[in-house]
Structure 1
Amino acid sequence: MLVGKELLDKNRSLSHLPEDEIAKGCGYVGPSGRVLRKSFYRALVEAKGIKLRSNGPGRAGNRSSRGRQAEFRTRVHGNGNLLIGHAYTKKLGLEPGQEFKIDIKKDSGAIYLVPLK
């Protein structure tokens, strides 16, 4: 991810493209391919010399700087998919491309992911 003068220069050179393409061109893309807009915009503002105050732990009630938080809850989506988010796979140390066998225990309703070698 570009920062500072490099970010501003690259942003100018890509200014004819849509915002998401500029962000991608500057390296603001997550592991899943999702554009990291907030990080991109924040870096642009800081590159222009504007200091942003972080919302640290002392700012009670303001969770905006922490992003999405792992609540260890999910639900079945309308299309029948059950999503396990990045926070959970990161906490378990899972890497992209790892494969698992899904083991279902009907009596308890538990779902287990068993790593494949």
Structure 2
Amino acid sequence: MEESCVHIIVSGLQNLGVYYGWAMVIGLNDESKVYPMVMSVGWNPFYKNEKKSAEVHIIHKFDRDFYGHEIRIAVCGYIREEKNYPNLKDLIDDINIDIEVAKKSLARQNYGNVKMDTFFNI
């Protein structure tokens, strides 16, 4: 994600860490739908990033890559703070838990309504 976009996202959030919400990839024709997402915002200490980043993981199996496409995201809630991990397995285990938390949270009606917001109309 471009640094200017990361700055905008970070400035609108209270804490660094893992968030959940909805995301849409623009321009994928039949796959340009709104899907659940989790997003890590921060330094990603496991990978020793030197700049803050925002990494969006869309919870959907796409048929193709969408690098270079515009995405729209709506953040609905906060899951946890970012943390460092002793190994990749522990990181992946927490990511999988984050995905389950996101899916269960977004199944609630109030969060489901966000998916229908005009923000996602193209």
Q: TM-score, normalised by structure 2?
A: 0.26
Structure of higher RCO (CA pairs closer than 8 Å, 6+ residues apart): 2
Q: TM-score, normalised by structure 1?
A: 0.26
Between Structure 1 and Structure 2, which shows a larger proportion of strand residues? 2
